């Protein structure tokens, strides 16, 4: 019940008091009108929570639910630079709300103070917005305007530790939140876009752990201090399973464990085809080193073997995909990268409002779903979608909001679990199995 009260309080505050106040501060509201900041934000957020592809008519119907009579043409006129600023600032306040579920009951993950996943996604914008959000240019297919969304998630509690917006052209490491925020004893996983020896060293300095793939160009030195110029050949000599202490970098000499498993030939061939296709698209050639290493799954970690065995590490490496699946959900279900309009400010308003809708959806999942390893966020999203209009009409009362969240919570708990798979077990099944089998 405590979590329901926290979510209800957060929803009421940011979509009510905060949105109302920011409506005036951003000059979205310049004279007394029923269309204040809170009604505008609530209209967009709850409409898109119910239907991310909603029309202007549907938006005006939601507006009527909060006692706001406005025509589609009248609403269109309110999609301005000030409206976009209002929505962006409400989003900024919302992501600072610290909402977290109880620790996820998976023994392997419970060994860490938190399991932080980090990734980003980029949304292409109209060129007219390039002065606000700069892209990399047409050569990348990104365009002259693009928005990068950087997200850090604690998988154990569902806490959105960081959600920030940046120019699309900004490098992932620059967009990343400070590593000093990582708690002692926590685990950090991210894609190669965040790879850097200085970065891995900094994580170690904060007494946290990292688990990362190996960037092919990284210099590796064996236990004897000699550089492994042909890493694949050294791995071949070790056998199919490798767990060795090595150091990385000519000058850094960062001590890590190198965990490697040889993959089946068909998997290696598939990886090499993808590497060649990607390189061909860019007019380049794949290095022989990368092609050779495609025959292996390789991870680096500073976690000791008593915390993460080789077998457990291979499962842990799959965990990083959970944040990519969250972005996939936000795009495929929440349509955060789509708008029915061609007007730049309307498009930007839609993106911010849909991000707010996904944030609310995530908060609701924290109430009791996050504690289940076999949760299905896709099923939960569909359930929340059905109750979006009930949520907006109950927002005037903390008690009514909590009652609606309680109903949603019961429905989510009853029917939002993943089906167990025999042929291709899901990540949660493998995480549980690796501990039960004594391999962790």
pLDDT at residue 270 in the model: 95
Determine, yes or no, domain membership for 88.
yes
pLDDT at residue 440 in the model: 58
The whole-model pTM stands at: 0.93
Q: Are residues 381 and 308 in the same domain?
A: no
Mean model confidence pLDDT for the chain:
92
Q: Are residues 288 and 345 in the same domain?
A: no
Q: Are residues 359 and 315 in the same domain?
A: no
Q: Residue 227 — left, alpha, or beta (φ > 0 → left; ψ -120 to 50 → alpha)?
A: beta
Burial of 225: CB neighbours in 10 Å, binned 0-12, 13-18, 19+: exposed
Question: pLDDT per residue over 213-234, tens digit each?
Answer: 999 899 999 989 999 999 999 9
Q: Are residues 221 and 289 in the same domain?
A: yes
Q: Are residues 311 and 214 in the same domain?
A: yes
Element (H, E) at 166: strand 160-167
Backbone angles phi, psi at 229, to 5 degrees: -65, -35
All residue ranges of the chain with pLDDT < 70 are 1, 138-142, 436-440
**Residue span of the structural domain in which 230 resides:** 210-319
Q: Are residues 289 and 389 in the same domain?
A: no
Determine, yes or no, domain membership for 47.
yes
Question: pLDDT per residue over 150-179, tens digit each?
Answer: 999 999 999 999 999 999 999 999 999 999
Separation of alpha carbons 329 and 351, rounded Å? 15
Residue finishing a domain among 290, 319, 348: 319
Determine, yes or no, domain membership for 193.
no
Which residues are 299's β-sheet partners? 213, 259
What's the alpha-carbon Rg for the chain, to the nearest Å? Answer: 24
Per the structure, the count of domains in the chain is 2
Determine, yes or no, domain membership for 248.
yes
Determine, yes or no, domain membership for 147.
no
Q: Are residues 226 and 312 in the same domain?
A: yes
Q: Are residues 315 and 350 in the same domain?
A: no
Determine, yes or no, domain membership for 68.
yes
Determine, yes or no, domain membership for 276.
yes
Separation of alpha carbons 330 and 388, rounded Å? 16
Separation of alpha carbons 5 and 402, rounded Å? 6
pLDDT at residue 292 in the model: 92
Determine, yes or no, domain membership for 280.
yes
């Amino acid at each position: 019940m405590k979590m329901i009260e926290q979510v209800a309080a957060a929803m009421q505050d940011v979509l009510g008091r905060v949105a109302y106040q920011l409506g005036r501060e951003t000059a979205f509201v310049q004279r007394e009108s029923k269309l204040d900041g809170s009604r505008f934000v609530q209209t967009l957020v709850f409409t898109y929570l119910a239907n991310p592809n909603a029309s202007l008519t549907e938006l005006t119907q939601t507006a009527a639910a909060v006692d706001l009579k406005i025509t589609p043409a009248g609403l269109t006129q309110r999609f301005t630079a000030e409206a976009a600023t209002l929505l962006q600032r409400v989003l900024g306040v919302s992501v600072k709300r610290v909402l977290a579920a109880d620790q996820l009951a998976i023994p392997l993950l419970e060994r860490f103070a938190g399991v932080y996943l980090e990734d980003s996604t980029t949304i292409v914008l109209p060129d007219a917005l390039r002065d606000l959000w700069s892209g990399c240019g047409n050569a990348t297919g990104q365009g002259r305007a693009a928005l990068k969304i950087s997200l850090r998630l604690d998988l154990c509690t569902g806490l959105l530790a960081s959600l920030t917006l940046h120019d699309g052209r900004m490098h992932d490491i620059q967009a990343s939140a400070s590593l000093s925020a990582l708690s002692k004893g926590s685990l950090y996983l991210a894609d190669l876009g965040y790879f850097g020896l200085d970065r891995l060293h900094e994580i170690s300095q904060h007494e946290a752990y990292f688990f990362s793939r190996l960037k092919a160009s990284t210099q590796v030195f064996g236990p004897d201090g000699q550089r492994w110029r042909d890493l694949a050949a050294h791995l071949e000599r070790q056998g199919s399973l490798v767990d060795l202490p090595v150091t990385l970098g000519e000058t850094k000499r960062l001590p890590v464990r190198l965990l490697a498993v040889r993959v089946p030939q068909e998997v290696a061939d598939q990886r090499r085809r993808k590497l060649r296709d990607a390189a061909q698209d860019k007019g380049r050639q794949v290095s022989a080193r990368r092609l050779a290493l495609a025959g292996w799954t390789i991870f680096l970690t500073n976690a000791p073997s008593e915390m993460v065995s080789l077998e457990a590490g291979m499962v842990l490496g799959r965990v990083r995909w959970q944040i990519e699946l969250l972005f996939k959900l936000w795009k495929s279900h929440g349509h955060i990268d789509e708008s029915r309009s061609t007007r730049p400010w309307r498009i930007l308003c839609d993106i911010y409002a849909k991000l707010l809708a996904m944030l609310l959806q995530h908060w609701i999942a924290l109430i009791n779903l996050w504690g289940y390893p076999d949760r299905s966020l896709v099923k939960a999203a569909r359930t929340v979608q059905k109750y979006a209009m009930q949520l907006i009409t109950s927002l005037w009362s903390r008690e009514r909001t909590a009652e609606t969240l309680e109903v949603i919570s019961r429905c989510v708990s009853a029917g939002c679990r993943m089906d167990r798979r025999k042929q291709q077990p899901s990540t949660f099944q493998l995480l549980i199995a690796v501990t039960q089998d004594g391999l962790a």
